[in-house]
Amino acid sequence: MNAPLLQVDDVSRRFGGLAAVSNVSFEVGRGEIVGLIGPNGAGKSTLFNLIAGALPPSSGRILFEGEDVTALAAPDRCRRGIGRTFQVVKSFDSMSVLDNVVVGALVRHPHAAAARRKAAEVLDFAGLAPRAASPAGDLTPPEKRRLEVARALATEPKLLLLDEVMTGLTPAEAQKGVELVRKVRETGVTVLMVEHVMEIVMPLVDRAFVLHLGRELAHGKPADVAADPGVISAYLGDRRRAS
Ligand SMILES: Nc1ncnc2c1ncn2[C@@H]1O[C@H](COP(=O)(O)OP(=O)(O)OP(=O)(O)O)[C@@H](O)[C@H]1O
């Protein structure tokens, strides 16, 4: 099969009069790590939700492994192999860390024992095995981010969508997150990650796609994108507005 793993084909999404995403097209090939970046309000979360199936597009198509999945709901896309994390961590705080990951593993392993085995394996991979029995509510913020990634990985995705998993982490914690993403790719999983902070994503990704005001501003190799005058000015403008 030669089709790219993911194809976003001329996708737009409006909220009333606001065009949050306008005529965006790009592809993600198997085995790539692609960064979806852009300043505040660029449309990153909206596009992410369109790919995950949490929102329907106003127009355009999403293709996965060459098949049109635009009409499929999020759980069906998950079964096809699109796994996602949530920007606002959605762990079940009173449940154990292991049981939180079992929730993801049940997607492919309907029998509880097999789902628990898979969940334990993923926790080990994500470096959370020592916390398996703790209530998820006791985890530190970086551990909660890891738990989000572990739960998505437990669904055994072909494409892992990461929504700002590095946000709020210290540089040392973010570095550990970067190492985890690299390890995920080594297992053959393709990664599309939304991040606001360019400094974190650029050294990690093979390609970056930059959104600004809902439209493509630039895409290509990280070094070229980071040097793009339009990208620099969009980010500088964002920083000026924030200060
Ligand atoms: N459910 C919604 N209803 C109305 N407007 C929305 C909705 N979701 C997003 N928007 C608007 O769409 C635009 C894009 O928002 P989006 O959250 O996708 O941007 P973003 O790039 O993810 O921003 P951030 O980095 O701040 O998370 C913004 O103007 C936002 O206010």
Ligand 1 nearest atom to the CA of residue 42, by list position: 21
Q: Domain residue spans in the chain?
A: 6-81+157-242, 95-156
Ligand 1 nearest atom to the CA of residue 47, by list position: 18
Q: What is the DSSP letter of 101?
A: H
The edge-to-edge listing of strands for the beta sheet with 159-163 is 82-84, 159-163, 190-195, 33-37, 207-212, 215-220
Residue 161 belongs to what H/E stretch? strand 159-163
**Digit-coded pLDDT (tens) for 107-124:** 999 999 999 999 999 999
Is 154 within 8 Å of 105 (Cβ atoms)?
Answer: yes
Q: Whose CA is nearest to atom 17 of ligand 1?
A: 45
Q: Residue 56 Cα, ligand 1 centroid: separation in angstroms?
A: 15
Confidence band of 135 (pLDDT split at 50, 70, 90): very high
Q: Which residue of 12, 24, 36, 44 sits with most ligand 1 atoms within 8 Å of its CB, as the best mutation to test the pocket?
A: 44
Confidence band of 234 (pLDDT split at 50, 70, 90): confident
**Digit-coded pLDDT (tens) for 180-221:** 999 999 999 999 999 887 788 889 999 999 999 999 999 999
Q: Which of these, 188, 134, 131, 130, lies nearest to 159 by C-alpha position?
A: 188
The CATH classification number of 6-81+157-242 equals 3.40.50.300
Q: Whose CA is nearest to atom 4 of ligand 1?
A: 15
Task: For the full predicted model, state whether its pTM sits above 0.90.
Answer: yes
Q: ipTM surpassing 0.90, yes or no?
A: yes
Distance between CA atoms of residues 169 and 108, nearest Å? 31
